[in-house]
Amino acid sequence: NVILHTMSNNTTSSCVEGGFECYNVIDSSQLVTSIWLSAAGGAAVVLLFTILRNIPSWKSIYHKRATQISDLRYRPCPFRTKTHVDRAFSFLYPVFGTRDVDLFRSAGLDSLMMVRINTLGAQLFLPLAAFGSAVLIPLYKTSGYLAETTTNADVIMTYSMSNVASKDPVLWVPWVMFIGFTLYALWAVFMHLKSYAAFRMLQEHRVEVSQTLGLYPMALFADLSKDEDYRKVVGDTHGFLLWIKAAASFFSPWHMHLQDLAFIRLCRASYERILEVRQKTEACEDTIVHDDDVQEPVHPWWQSPEDTPACVNSVYKPRGVLLGKSNWASRKSCGGVLPRRNNAPCSTSAHNYVVEYRNAGDVEERKGHDVHAEVSKVISLMYCENEYIQHEYNDTGFGDRLNMLEGDLKMLFPESFMKLVPVYYYRSTDEAIQAWDETVAKIHSQQSALDGLLKKHNMQGEKDVEMAHSGGMFSRCMQTRTTLKIQKLNDTLTSLIDKKKNLEAKIVELRREALERPADTAAFAIFSNQADARQARHGEIGITPNINMVASVAPGADEVNFQALWSTAAQQRNVLMLMTPVYVLLILFPIGAITGALSNFTVAVCGGTPETNDLYWSSYCDSAAVVPTTLLTSILPVALSAFWDTFFMPLMLYMATQRLRIHSSFTKLDQALTIQLYVFSVVNTFLMGVVGGAALSQIGQAFSQGSFSSLLGESLPGASNFFLNYVAVHCLFTNLFRFVWPHDGTVLFQVLRLFRLAPQPYTDRESWIIRSPPSFRGARHYASFLLIFIIGLSYSVISPLVLPLCWGFFLTSWIAWRYNCIHFYEPCYNSMGAMWKSFASCYIATLYIATFFVACLFISKSFFWEGGLLAILNAFIIYMARSYMHRKVTSFLEATPLQLSYAAPTIQSPDEIQLMYTPPCLRPGAVGWFPEQGKIWEKYGLPKFLGPDPSKKLNKQDTKKDM
């Protein structure tokens, strides 16, 4: 990445000595050198990956999903190592030989849509690159404007709009082509949006009718050539024709969408056939963990499924409360029956039967009036006195607000309402379990050290027997020293065991206190059928106006952001006011301009002569200090930009957004972070990169000559060289680097262990932490993809050389991400691809940005009316297309058709869903808890809790009342 910001004071032989035009941001020779070095680096990375993945100790690192997720369906095939060709290229077999539908069934819709973004980029920029190379590049090359006006026109700039004179009629060609590019970009994303909607409906309303899980390996195209392959959907195409269809779906959005619809129809037909066979099967018992099943306060979460007691091991079941990280299809599933199919047993999505009620404001109480009486008066206005259904508010230990909510739900849905699951303040319990886990880790470490000393002591004892008659003083001293160490370790181990027992007692007490005092800010209502759950969630202000609870679709049990449900609407507004300056500072802090300015510092202060450049710095320009100059203009900008974009901004925005406690699910939190990082990419990396790079390089001349009007038209196309370099390096090196370095912590600690700088895992717990698959940071990666869309679309007709590089970027990114989604990453929650909606919104915003960016360039070329017309016409086209997409697709994503609601399974017992929507630390044995549980991104060092603990405030209030 050092190449991205490399600058040098290049003076061409044809320029005027001392002229400002002798200094370029990045010239053609630098760009060619950058491309060659990036290609060499990418080849070296792939070679290193080929070597490492054939080493036994590294196989589990690069093959995590298949080896660490016990109930994984469509398990990725192991690496082929029979021949040298297999060892070198077998990692590409699953990339090109696995169908999208198998990726969907193995990794879920979240992983598929992450890959589909790269598919969209490849499908978009391939025809754009073809038209740009065939039409725009020859057109710009033959215009010859730079040759007439400058003496050292850079070769790359002659292929851009900079080589076209102002008011030249040739500008009508890119004007028309940009409108065509916009129309194709809108059509391509519309095809992807329709495919996403179809997959989402299939996953959200999926019904599993088989009672056992088929743990099948993923089927490659070559494997599907076998007749009657049990892994394929009945009637699915296989053989050579499948390769043809796969290629067509990769290059054409239309063929991709048709194949997606064909697969969904086949799934539906296969489901009906299976259902006809299984509908007479007797109903089976749900997998439920009861209070008396688990005896220990905290179950060892690192145990393998084979060593886990049956009372908590539901990992091999198609539904139930999960033990640790499990298959995506099992995380949201619960048991049910199909009433219209002779009560055939099945598993279905639990969140379709749950409604989230959340406080929308403070309770309005009047002094001297009972809250129950006020609620009765409000409800009595809705019914005649003789028709009003009398009911009582039973005291269930919830508190007035939740008691009233439960009573009203029983009144309105007497047949289907099953249970109200409150939200609990569990932070103290979770922190106690975390302390227990750290203590257990120390016990394991001490026990391992003690076992080693005991083994050494026993070996020394055998030698002492031989040396006893010779009076070996040294041997006796060694034995005494070892005995003292053993005694010290025994004392430490005893102390840790006592601490562990005390923590277990504390956990039991904290768990009891948390369950006895639920929060009244939110709750989950469980219904037996989807139709009534759908009706209950469509209230504007809930069902009881006085308690002001907003009803909405409940998130999946694996994505509930419990701590966001602890706050009231008033608290959220107050925190938002305090955090707004933080957001403004993070988004608008000019890191892009700073790195661009550092890269172009030499150009800005050394361009031209002291007479032509007011910023000319003689002592700096005349010095021969090469190393400080290189550090300032090359190493420092790269290091600062990489640290800021990769680590600082995602972490800071996450902490600020999570502190608001607004987003009740990890999906909504990730969507908010995606939009924030997208805005940061637009403002800092793109706009400030242009201004801080190209514009700053000419600011000295602008001050001298007052030519600010022409600065925009000349500097913005000039910045394309920087973006060409940026995309080329990411295309040829950075994307391929993801093969060998997919996750910082995983690979870094493996390298440290390789050089004996980190201990080897000696216990099952340490092995689980090392080998468990991390999740990907959806918001971070979506924003990085969108940045390439911004660069490619904005410079599509300005500098068409960027189009082939953008296509190459998405091609290599598609290969890397497809491999890692199959073998490495496992999302920590199943959002059913909901991030795609945020991506689609940012994609439309990108088209608006590109439209006005290109229009400004036309205006700077004195194409005033044409530039204004382009901005208005293209914006209108984008707006109409967005409205059409919303009417046809987006508006139906959150809707549940009535036919599906009434044909859906019914729930017979709420116990399983209640346990799923209870925080793992409060479950019996803390089933489902592990150190990274409850985080939006796993294994990235994120803090689990942010903000104050509301339970401590309640404890202080109780103490004051007692006093």
What is the pLDDT, as a whole number, of residue 542? 52
To the nearest whole number, what is the mean pLDDT of the chain? 78
DSSP characters for 481-498? Answer: HHHHHHHHHHHHHHHHHH
DSSP-derived secondary structure letter, 160: S
User: How far is 792 from 149, CA to CA, in rounded Å?
Assistant: 28
What is the pLDDT, as a whole number, of residue 527? 95
* Cβ atoms 720, 795 nearer than 8 A: yes
What is the pLDDT, as a whole number, of residue 1? 36
Higher-pLDDT residue of 621 and 623 is 621
**Span 478-484, average pLDDT:** 69
Lowest mean pLDDT among 301-305, 621-625, 756-760: 621-625
Q: Return the closest-CA partner of residue 26 out of 800, 798, 726, 794.
A: 726
Q: Rounded to two decimals, what is the model's pTM?
A: 0.87
Q: Return the closest-CA partner of residue 906 out of 432, 528, 343, 513.
A: 528
- Residue 573 tokens, joined: 């507004």
State how far Cα 626 lies from the chain centre: 42
Q: Show Cβ contacts of residue 510 under 8 Å, excluding neighbours closer than 6 positions.
A: 428, 429, 432
Looking at the predicted structure, is the pLDDT value of residue 458 above 50?
yes
User: How far is 436 from 765, CA to CA, in rounded Å?
Assistant: 13
What is the pLDDT, as a whole number, of residue 152? 58
Tally of CB atoms within 10 A around 754? 13
Looking at the predicted structure, is the pLDDT value of residue 677 above 90?
yes
Angle between helices 109-131 and 100-107 (to 10 degrees): 150
**Span 348-366, average pLDDT:** 75
Strand-pairing partners, residue 338, are 344
Looking at the predicted structure, is the pLDDT value of residue 99 above 90?
no
Which amino acid, 49?
A: F
Higher-pLDDT residue of 930 and 869 is 869
Higher-pLDDT residue of 883 and 634 is 883
Beta strands in 379-453 (DSSP E): 417-424
DSSP characters for 652-668? Answer: HHHHHHHHHT--SBHHH
Q: What is the CA radius of gyration of the chain?
A: 32
* Cβ atoms 945, 427 nearer than 8 A: yes
Sheet holding 333-338, edge to edge: 207-208, 344-349, 333-338
What is the pLDDT, as a whole number, of residue 386? 38
**What is the pLDDT confidence band of residue 38, given thresholds at 50, 70 and 90?**
confident
Lowest mean pLDDT among 89-98, 193-202, 269-278, 432-441: 269-278
**What is the pLDDT confidence band of residue 627, given thresholds at 50, 70 and 90?**
low
Residue-level length of the chain: 963
- Residue 433 tokens, joined: 């379990």
Looking at the predicted structure, is the pLDDT value of residue 709 above 60?
no
What is the pLDDT, as a whole number, of residue 721? 74
**Span 564-574, average pLDDT:** 88
871-879's contacts with Cβ under 8 Å and 24+ in sequence apart are: 873/179, 874/178, 874/179, 874/182, 874/847, 875/848, 875/851, 877/179, 877/182, 877/183, 877/186, 878/182, 878/186, 878/844, 878/847, 878/848, 878/851
Which amino acid, 876?
A: F
Looking at the predicted structure, is the pLDDT value of residue 453 above 70?
yes
User: How far is 716 from 724, CA to CA, in rounded Å?
Assistant: 13
DSSP-derived secondary structure letter, 906: B
User: How far is 854 from 798, CA to CA, in rounded Å?
Assistant: 7
What is the pLDDT, as a whole number, of residue 582? 92
* Cβ atoms 616, 606 nearer than 8 A: yes
**What is the pLDDT confidence band of residue 340, given thresholds at 50, 70 and 90?**
confident
**What is the pLDDT confidence band of residue 16, given thresholds at 50, 70 and 90?**
very low
Lowest mean pLDDT among 58-62, 166-170, 199-203: 58-62
State how far Cα 568 lies from the chain centre: 27
**Span 61-68, average pLDDT:** 81
Instruction: Name the percent of the chain lying above pLDDT 90.
Output: 32
Higher-pLDDT residue of 210 and 664 is 664
What is the pLDDT, as a whole number, of residue 780? 93
What values do phi and psi take at 851, rounded to 5? -60, -50
